Structure 1
Amino acid sequence: MPPRGPAPSLPANGASFDVLVVGGGINGAGIGRDLAGRGLRVLLVERELQPGVHSTGRSAAMYMPSYGPPAARALTRASRSFYEAPPAGFTDQPLLTPRGVLYVASPDQGEAMDALHAELAPACAGLQRLDAAATLARAPSLRPDQVMGALWDPESTDIDVQALHQGFLRGFR
């Protein structure tokens, strides 16, 4: 575990703030950037020597419009335009990198795969059903006797968490 920084202290110059954000991870940085962008004076405090050390720093983040309950999928889809075209000066590199996701079904999960396809297809235009051969071509390390097929979601991507986090932090320095 990295060493912790000194205890946070408020500025000695008598500055005042409208909002105190505790934690400089991706959520705190994102909220701070948004509030600062609305004209509020934001103080972000972080216990560690640098922001983003814990979950933000270890995240293997994916943008997956097909994952989670319906409300989470709707929020994910609603955020796509931000990831594809962040505000000017936010970052100088793409936030998303194509990857895609397989939802693999074993031979006894045919009905579950049908149900998942029916649930996801209306909102995931690129969702494709794959047979066992096509699934194994994409994921050859799978055991062939355990694969009936899969759903392929080509819209899922990697998120560059470091660039996203730094863009949020840059937004209210």
Structure 2
Amino acid sequence: MTNGLAGAPFRVGTGVDVHAYAAAGSDRLLMLGCLEWPGERGTEGHSDGDVAAHAACNALLSAGALGDLGSVFGTDRPEMAGASGVQMLQHVRSLLTGAEWQIGNVAVQLVGQRPRVGPRRQEMEAAMSAALAGASVSVSAATSDGLGFTGRGEGLAAIATALVHRP
């Protein structure tokens, strides 16, 4: 059964991901936007906890009507334990290619008090783009004005939008 959009030349998807920070004193590294963030508190997760990469994966999977993070990389798959955001983005790109979609662009908005994204924004965009074979990636950030779990510094969230098209 198709959803009526299978033949559409363009599709848009939205993705969200959330991870709690690791316990204080944990040696877990923060992975964000396919980069290591030395000196920042890491996030918990079955994989590397990279909310930016995971939200981008969810958006791309949604755009391609290929499922979601849980159906593709579920926690019931031990081989995915510790998987990097780079590996996950590369796998999603291969799924899209197999379904005859090309990535138009991905936009990711991070929500959290830390880390400060601005100084490494271009580096994050380049790293995520490289994982997606050169697809255009933009990254922005918001603090949530101290509200909610991200505002209280309990974790990070990311929202992403992706556009895919037929070659």
Shorter chain as denominator, the TM-score bin is under 0.3
TM-score relative to the length of structure 2: 0.27
Q: Could you state the TM-score of these two structures normalised by the residue count of structure 1?
A: 0.26
Structure ID, larger Rg: 1
Select the structure that is richer in strand.
2
